[in-house]
Amino acid sequence: MPLCRKSLDLHADPLAVARALADRPGLSLLWSARGGGPSYVASDPIDEVSALDPEPSLELDPALGAAGRAPRWIGVLPYEACRSLERPRWTRSSDPRPAPHVDRPLWRRYAAVAKIAGDSVELVGDDAGAVRGLARRVRAGLASARPAPAKLELVRVESAARHAARIKQALSLIAQGDLYQVNLARRFELAATGHPVNVLETLSRRAAAPYAAALCLGAVDVVSTSPELFLALEPDRRVLTAPIKGTRPRGGSAAEDAALCRELDADPKERAELAMILDVERNDLGRVARTGSVKLLEPPHVDTHPSVHHRVALLGAVLGQGLGRRELLAAMLPSGSVTGAPKVRAMEVIFGLEPHRRGLYTGAFGALRQDGGLSLGMAIRTLTLADGRGHYFAGGGIVADSDPAREVEETLWKALQITGPSGPAGLPSASGSPPQPSRNWAVSPGSASERDWTYGS
């Protein structure tokens, strides 16, 4: 069925369009804040589903072309959704820890969305009336909407000593041969005021990201500045995932930045960490991929973000015949990038060592598109908000030669956008240097990494 499209003669600003719809129910903003691809804004959903795949009958359709990349469903897939991978004694039903903000998949169906790309605003949908209605709401909202302040105040964070202690426990399990790697995180708790779009704008001043989002889910709001591609499924059945392993803070100058990039890229521990996770991801993809199609499309390299450097690689595959989105998501979620190796055992160790349930953290969020494809960011650098209180996790992969003190410091690098350059009260600075402007010194614009890491690229 052809899609309806309508161009609007408006200034192409995703945040402004989102603010124009801020008071509408079910606002969703998927923002390519690094400028590598289109962004999408939607409101007034027409349906809501809790399932891995919200519309199993929707087929992959390459004939829809560029318009088909517009979201049809926007939602979240929390880490909690696949806790059934853990063996019975560790299952979610017996987990005594309090329920997290998000513990089940939630998708919302939109009949029309606004696509903002370059200097254009285009409305795309499968219902002509919905497209016209969205045009009226955007124009009316833009006439009155203005930026508004948002405030985040750090309320509580687990102590460095406590996080270091569980890292040492993990190192003991690794030394015994129980597992090879496990991702461990600590939780930061915040008080928040302001609309999620304004909170996102505030965070993005320190961390402009390819997978930024503000999602109003009813009782819970989600604000993310994720740097990581969890999963993309294209209408020709190609699958992409881009695991990140290895982090360094930004330097105070171009020369210091370059030295940090070289040190990160050469570090034996960081290289081993990403190599192990690539093996996990290859294995997971191999369960649902056409035989022989799993390939390393981009070897490990350093990618730079406003507050950190990361080491990343890109894997690709072709989804096997007779398999669909549900099978793909069940095989890949949660990602080995944010669990460990072996994945199931790492999840059990996470349950045993982390004092809080993760909820959305290290799950995924994003879009099921009109063409049947998926564009999903990894739910890291992600804040969930309920009743004015926020949860934000920061963690890292623990391997045999991890240094607990360095791993604790890494959590502060990854929390810099919520703590500021001096760190939270009572904690050391995450870096001796102030946050750097949004520049990308390690990946040139238009490279495969930049191109693939955007909504609907």
Share of the chain above pLDDT 70, in %: 90
Q: What's 400's DSSP letter?
A: T
Residue-wise pLDDT tens digits, 190-222: 999 999 999 999 998 877 889 999 999 999 999
pLDDT of 306: 75
pLDDT of 416: 85
HSE-up of 217 (CA within 13 Å, CB side)? 28
pLDDT reading at 273 higher than 70: yes
Question: What are the residues whose beta carbons fall under 8 Å from the beta carbon of 295, sequence distance 6 or more?
Answer: 315, 316, 317
Residues forming the active site: 228, 245
Here the tokens at position 24 are: 């509408």
Q: Assess contact for 261 and 311: CB atoms under 8 A.
A: no
pLDDT of 91: 55
pLDDT of 147: 78
Residue-wise pLDDT tens digits, 279-289: 999 999 999 99
Q: Assess contact for 287 and 244: CB atoms under 8 A.
A: no
3-state secondary structure of 369: strand
Partners of 152 in the beta sheet? 192
Residue-wise pLDDT tens digits, 362-393: 999 999 999 999 999 999 999 999 999 999 99
Sign of the alpha-carbon dihedral angle for 51, 55, 60, 62: negative
The alpha helices in 111-247, defined as continuous H runs, are 128-142, 160-175, 196-204
Instruction: Specify the amino acid at residue 161.
Output: A
Please give the Cα distance from 436 to 439 (Å, whole number).
8
Here the tokens at position 40 are: 């999408």
Residue-wise pLDDT tens digits, 2-37: 899 999 998 889 999 999 999 999 999 999 987 778
Helices and strands in the chain: count of H runs, count of E runs: 11, 22
Instruction: Specify the amino acid at residue 309.
Output: H
Residue-wise pLDDT tens digits, 101-158: 999 999 999 999 999 998 899 999 999 999 999 999 999 999 888 878 899 999 999 9
Please give the Cα distance from 183 to 346 (Å, whole number).
8
Please give the Cα distance from 14 to 23 (Å, whole number).
16
pLDDT of 208: 82
Please give the Cα distance from 422 to 345 (Å, whole number).
36
pTM for the full model?
A: 0.90
pLDDT of 37: 82
Nearest by Cα to 442 from 244, 205, 295: 244
3-state secondary structure of 428: coil
Domains of the chain plus CATH, in order, are 4-452 (3.60.120.10)
Q: How far is CA 336 from CA 180, 242, 243, in A?
A: 12, 11, 8
Strands 151-157, 181-193: pairing is: antiparallel
Work out the burial of residue 310: count CB atoms within 10 Å of its CB; fewer than 13 is exposed, 13-18 middle, 19 or more buried.
Answer: buried
Please give the Cα distance from 282 to 61 (Å, whole number).
26
Per-position b or e across 381-419, b if 16+ CB within 10 A of its CB: bbbbbbeeebbbbbbbbbbeebebeebbbbbbbbbbbbb
